[in-house]
């Protein structure tokens, strides 16, 4: 973990001082937040949807929008959409969440025999949990670099909301399954491998 945090810090400290790279970084994060928001909406039950899930979907969509707006402070007018030239490590960035999602579904099917709605709900909780743990590390290190380089960009409001999500996911997982901690640990391991792939792919683009 320590080593990964150090690796992440090095990557981010290479990105932030370069406006062009920083723009693509922000756009990539925006794309991933938007993918998250769309997944939450897809997993929502059409009728039995409570305020926590609605808040969560709204906030992830806000993160995507907020990050997109930050690009204007760095490289104005250059990043119209999420096509490959405007992203960092586009293929890996696109795959990260989808692969995590697929792995979580397969895991819940094999290990707990879940199907249909139950499977959707479980995958939503576990995937989101793993991502929130990651978001905590990533946005924390990113904000430190932003402060260090006196960037006009800041992600403090995102950090605050992601902390809230992590607490909510933990509470929901506790009622989802008595062995939730083991389930979460297993998915976090899968997420860890995917995250390393992502960082390595970005690193390769920087060199
Ligand atoms: Fe988010
Ligand atoms: Fe979140």
| 18-42 pLDDT tens trace | 999 999 999 999 999 999 999 998 8
CA separation for the pair 158, 131 (Å, rounded): 13
Residues with CB under 5 A from ligand 1 (ion): 33, 60, 63
Distance from the CA of 154 to the center of ligand 2, in angstroms? 17
Name the closest ligand to CA 55.
2
Task: Put residue 79 in one of left, alpha, beta given phi > 0 → left and psi -120 to 50 → alpha.
Answer: beta
- Burial bucket for residue 99 (CB in 10 Å: 0-12, 13-18, 19+): middle
Question: What separation in Å is there between the alpha carbon of 193 and the centre of ligand 1?
Answer: 20
Distance in Å, CA 165 to ligand 2 centroid: 5
CB 201 within 8 Å of CB 90: no
Cα separation, 112 vs 132, in Å, equals 23
What per-residue confidence (pLDDT) applies to 156? 98
If you measure from the C-alpha of residue 159 to the centroid of ligand 1, how many angstroms do you get, rounded to a whole number?
A: 8
Confidence of residue 77 (pLDDT cuts 50, 70, 90): confident
Give the span between the Cα atoms of 75 and 144, in whole angstroms. 21
pTM of the predicted structure, to 2 decimals? 0.96
The residue-averaged pLDDT of 67-81 equals 94
Owner of token pair 């405007």 = 86
How far, in Å, is the centroid of ligand 1 from the Cα of 15?
20
């Amino acid at each position: 973990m320590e080593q990964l945090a150090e690796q992440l810090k090095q990557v981010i400290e290479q990105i932030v001082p370069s406006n062009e790279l920083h723009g693509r970084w922000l756009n990539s994060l925006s794309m991933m937040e938007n993918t998250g928001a769309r997944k939450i909406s897809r997993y929502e039950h059409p009728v039995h949807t409570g305020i926590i899930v609605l808040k969560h979907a709204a906030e992830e969509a806000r993160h995507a929008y907020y990050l997109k707006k930050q690009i204007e402070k760095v490289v104005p007018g250059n990043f119209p959409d999420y096509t490959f030239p405007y992203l960092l490590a586009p293929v890996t960035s696109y795959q990260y969440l989808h692969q995590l999602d697929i792995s979580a579904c397969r895991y819940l099917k094999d290990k707990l025999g879940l199907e249909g709605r139950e499977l959707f709900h479980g995958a939503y909780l576990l995937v989101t949990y793993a991502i929130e743990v990651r978001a905590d590390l990533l946005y924390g290190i990113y904000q430190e670099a932003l402060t260090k380089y006196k960037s006009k960009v800041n992600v403090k409001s995102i950090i605050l909301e992601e902390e809230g999500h992590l607490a909510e996911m933990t509470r929901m997982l506790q009622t989802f399954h008595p062995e939730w901690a083991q389930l979460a640990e297993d998915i976090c391991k899968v997420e860890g491998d995917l995250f390393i792939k992502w960082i390595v792919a970005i690193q390769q683009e920087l060199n």
